Amino acid sequence: MVQRITVLGAGSWGTAFAKVLADAGRDVTMWARRQSVAAEIRDRHSNSGYLPGIELPANLTATHDADEALAGADAVVLAVPSQSLRANLSGWREALPGDAVLVSLAKGVELGTLKRMSEVIAEITGVGNDRIVVVSGPNLAKEIAQGQPAAAVLACTDHDRAVAVQQASFNSYFRPYTNTDVVGCEVGGAAKNVIALSCGMAVGMGLGANTTATLITRGLAEMARLGTKLGADPLTFAGLAGVGDLVATCSSPLSRNRTFGERLGRGETLAEAQRATGGQVAEGVMSCTSIRELAHSHGVDMPITDAMHRVCHEGADPRQVGAELLGRRQKHEWS
């Protein structure tokens, strides 16, 4: 039974997922990089910097000491951004309990290595894939922290371990499903951030529902092409980790990727958009490059992803790349 759980990372999604686990009756300890954040969670049962107005459960505590947080954990939730996972995990590796399940909340493809997050975790820790569980789905942190109904998918090659985490996180408002298609869930989780950038840009340019629906649908086709090329089950992209996550992230103003893209669509530079969002860069800004390279290495066509890379990293005009997407060679929908 998974009862004692450590969450490494105290951002909005890490805190929301920690609350999910605590509301499911687990004993949860969070690690926060900043001592002041750990103290607020522990003493005041809040994390006002990331989830203002949310009261955290009494069975959720926090510490600034990673070794203290990890001691005796049945499961360890990795809740840091995808591009910093390797560095953080290298520092935590020696303190990880030898038999703990490792749960990944990060959604992205690592720059340089082009590895999915579960691959990074396996490489750094040396654990088998059967001990790594990936969480994906339409999971906007603020809504979940407020107790609004939501679902997620927990993917692991060992179905029994996925079930163990499912039982540990199931509560009155959070319904987790299991899946064994880790590749599909990770590709969907990473690629949807890039498509959300494109939808945000469209909104920023004053375009409407037809355009965003087109981007969502064609973006789904892109992620499914890449995923199946990498060995994913095509059905995964019709589920929570595919179309479910895609719709939520592309449609909601709570989505950092969508709102970041909206600023770019209004004509702001990458630096201006970053300053306006408190210095944070949306995951899709980084992932568009690594996903583009991963797709190219496997001969997969991802024109929207390529366009987002050009806007974010080559200074291309969103309107120009939009015109180029519309002017591409005509083709059958499923080719």
- Shared domain for 155 and 30, answered yes or no, is yes
138 has a pLDDT exceeding 90: yes
Residue 216 placed within a domain: yes
pLDDT of residue 86: 97
Q: Note whether 128 and 204 are same-domain residues.
A: no
In this structure, the answer to whether residues 166 and 81 fall within a common structural domain is yes
- Between CA 43 and CA 45 the distance in angstroms is 6
How many domains are contained in the chain? 2
Q: Which residue has the tokens 């583009």?
A: 292
As a whole number of angstroms, the distance between CA 209 and CA 112 comes to 35
How big is the CA angle at 180 (ends 177 and 186), to the nearest 5 degrees? 85
Residues 6+ apart with CB under 8 A from 232: 181, 183, 184, 187
Q: Is the pLDDT of residue 296 over 90?
A: yes
Q: Are residues 283 and 148 in the same domain?
A: no
- Quote the pLDDT of residue 282: 87
pLDDT tier at 275, thresholds 50, 70, 90: confident
Q: What CATH number should be reported for the domain holding residue 92?
A: 3.40.50.720
Q: What is the mean pLDDT of residues 311-326?
A: 94
pLDDT tens digits, 53-101: 999 999 999 999 999 999 999 999 999 999 999 999 999 999 999 999 9
Q: In this model, does residue 281 exceed pLDDT 80?
A: no
Q: How sure is the predictor about 314, in pLDDT bands with cuts at 50, 70 and 90?
A: very high
Please tell me whether the overall predicted TM-score, pTM, comes out greater than 0.75 for this model: yes
Range of the domain at 92: 4-180
What are the beta bridge partners of residue 165?
none
Helix, strand, or coil here: 47? coil
Residue 215 and residue 87 in one domain: no
Q: Kindly state whether residue 335 falls inside one of the protein's structural domains.
A: no
Looking at residue 35, its pLDDT comes to: 97
Please identify, among 144, 162, 180, the residue that sits at the C-terminal boundary of a domain.
180
Please check whether residues 173 and 230 belong to one and the same domain. Answer: no
Same domain flag for 212 and 166? no
Tell me what pLDDT residue 334 has: 84
Q: How many Å is the Cα radius of gyration of the chain?
A: 19
Check residue 278 and give its pLDDT: 74
Which residues have a catalytic role annotated? Answer: 192
- Distance from C-alpha of 147 to C-alpha of 129, rounded to nearest angstrom: 31
Percent of the chain scoring above 70 in pLDDT: 100
- Please tell me the predicted confidence (pLDDT) of residue 103: 98
Mean pLDDT of the chain: 96
| pLDDT of 187 strictly over 90 | yes
d(CA 117, CA 82): 7
Question: What pLDDT, on a 0 to 100 scale, did the predictor assign at position 145?
Answer: 98
The pLDDT tens digits for 253-269 are: 999 999 999 999 999 99
- Final residue before a domain boundary, out of 161, 180, 199: 180
pLDDT on residue 44 = 98
Q: Tell whether the model's pLDDT for residue 324 goes beyond 80.
A: yes
Q: Is the pLDDT of residue 164 over 80?
A: yes
Residues 213 and 260 grouped into a single domain:
yes
Residue 253 CA: distances (Å) to CA of 160, 272, 293: 36, 18, 28
